[in-house]
Amino acid sequence: MLALKLKLGVSRPALSPEVELFVASTNSNLPYGRYATSSGRRAFVQRTNHKLGFRAPYIQLCVPGAWFFNSSGGDSSLGNNINWDKLSVEVGGAYATAKFNGGRAFAAADDDWYYSQPIYYSELGGSGDFLRNTTIQIRGQGNVSQVGHYLTEGSAAYTGADAASNAARCWLYDPDTVSVDPVDGTGPIANPSGGSQKFFAVPAFIVAPNPDGTLVLAGIGDSIPYGINDNTFGGQSEFGGYGWARAAVGTGNPYAYLSMACPSELALQFLTGSLSARRQKFLKMCNGAVINYGTNDYGFTGTGLVAAVQAAVMGVVDLVADKLSGASKIILCPLLCSTSSTSGNYTSKADQTVKSGWNAGENRDVINSYFASQVGTKVFALADTLTQVSDPTDNHYWLTNGTNAYGTGDGGHPRQATYTLAAANAIRPAIQAMEAAHYS
């Protein structure tokens, strides 16, 4: 693994440190998707929650450049700069400013990422190292130069009541008529006059040296690990995010987790270098991964070729293992369920019909059996998410409890309850086992 070298004479703050940096906290996300700003909504101010995943002598902020990814075009240029006015970090009622090339403001152009200068715990009134499980908020403010230019989405940014001490928010507002400056401070960020709320912040996350070699995870896959239809605000999502990223928090130690999952994406697309080149560069900031691909390669109507699905998913496993830092370990996830509902509400097992190719003995089972056979060779574990989200008498049907859309709302994705169950009872135990093996 080559250390990153300092680039001298760079006018933009795309700093590359001399030491190897790792993603350092929960609720870290690369820029999935983009949205056009509208009149009176071209500036943003935000605060996001994070838990530190390992002991660190100092921390830095990593701000992705002006790019984004989706399933239709892969990793793509945003088409405009994102102008950051300032960022800071907040810990326990104190804050420290983040500087980029000695200044606060910078324009994020079409670069991979931008690093801040190191921030030490002493700047926040502490002493020694930052410790695992430390709560850190990232505060940030910026804009695009004109209405219609794009912003991107990253960390979860809606949690709890407005006045709660850990309240995370992202507000869009009009910088031409409203003046706010809450970044150099602590506590919740109030709605600027006439502001509009977003559930996801413009991406910025924490990186740091990892002196103990603690496990750091990349979350890779499609809409299921991303957390489509996971609409619970609070609980695990306050500091972890959505989908399988919820597993990064819970009872015990948190895990640094970088989500680069892409709704509707095929494993075959991620394997295409031109479609995932930017995301692949961030894999060196992690030393383990949770991979959940194959659903879109196979198709909710079960038309994908088994051999092609297997080859694509295991191709991603090989690629990721090669790009991760050090002796990496990988958790794989099975295909789940694909059903329709007579009522449209998925209230019971009897209310569901399993789609072709997804029933007992059909190709979904063949694919999952193949994934299980890879454990101990290319894969550390197959997380049993399927048992957590499915009917206890037949895992080809979604879990139900008599209420509308309990286990699924569309027949192809989990809902809040089943995301919670699978993250806590399947993904997290697999991560904990992988951490134990990581140090053995």
Whole-model pTM: value is: 0.94
Asked which of 110-119, 160-169, 180-189, 354-363 is least confident by mean pLDDT, the reply is 160-169
β-pairing, 94-98 vs 82-91, is antiparallel
Average pLDDT on 94-120 reads 98
H or E element that contains 311: helix 306-323
- Map residue 279 onto helix, strand or coil: helix
Contact predicate 197/226, CB 8 Å: no
Distances (CA, A) of 355 to 154, 263, 335, 345, 389: 33, 21, 13, 16, 17
Give me the pLDDT at residue 235, please: 56
Q: How confident is the model at residue 18 (pLDDT cuts 50, 70, 90)?
A: low
pLDDT for residue 13 is more than 60: no
Give me the pLDDT at residue 250, please: 80
pLDDT for residue 9 is more than 80: no
Q: pLDDT per residue over 47-96, tens digit each?
A: 999 999 999 999 999 999 999 999 999 999 999 999 999 999 999 999 99
Angle between helices 306-323 and 363-373 (to 10 degrees): 30
pLDDT for residue 6 is more than 50: no
d(C-alpha 112, C-alpha 89), whole Å: 22
pLDDT for residue 4 is more than 50: no
47 or 235, greater pLDDT: 47
- In this structure, the chain runs to a length of 440
pLDDT for residue 1 is more than 90: no
β-pairing, 205-208 vs 60-64, is antiparallel
Contact predicate 33/73, CB 8 Å: no
Domains of the chain, by residue range, sit at 22-206, 215-438
Burial class (CB in 10 A: 0-12, 13-18, 19+), 283: buried
Contact predicate 161/203, CB 8 Å: no
Average pLDDT on 102-113 reads 97
Assigned CATH class of 215-438: alpha beta
d(C-alpha 279, C-alpha 286), whole Å: 12
Share of the chain above pLDDT 70, in %: 94
Distances (CA, A) of 364 to 300, 331, 357, 360: 10, 19, 6, 8
Q: pLDDT per residue over 281-334, tens digit each?
A: 999 999 999 999 999 999 999 999 999 999 999 999 999 999 999 878 999 999
Q: Which of 362, 358, 384 is nearest to 371 (CA)?
A: 384
Give me the pLDDT at residue 396, please: 99
d(C-alpha 306, C-alpha 197), whole Å: 43
167 or 28, greater pLDDT: 28
Give me the pLDDT at residue 38, please: 97
d(C-alpha 397, C-alpha 390), whole Å: 6
Average of per-residue pLDDT values in the chain:
93
Contact predicate 30/188, CB 8 Å: no
Burial class (CB in 10 A: 0-12, 13-18, 19+), 345: middle
Contact predicate 246/431, CB 8 Å: no
Handedness of CA 367, 373, 375, 381 (dihedral sign): positive
Contact predicate 360/353, CB 8 Å: no
The 10 Å CB-count burial string (b at 16+, else e) for 370-394 is: ebeebeeeebbbbbbbbebbbbeee
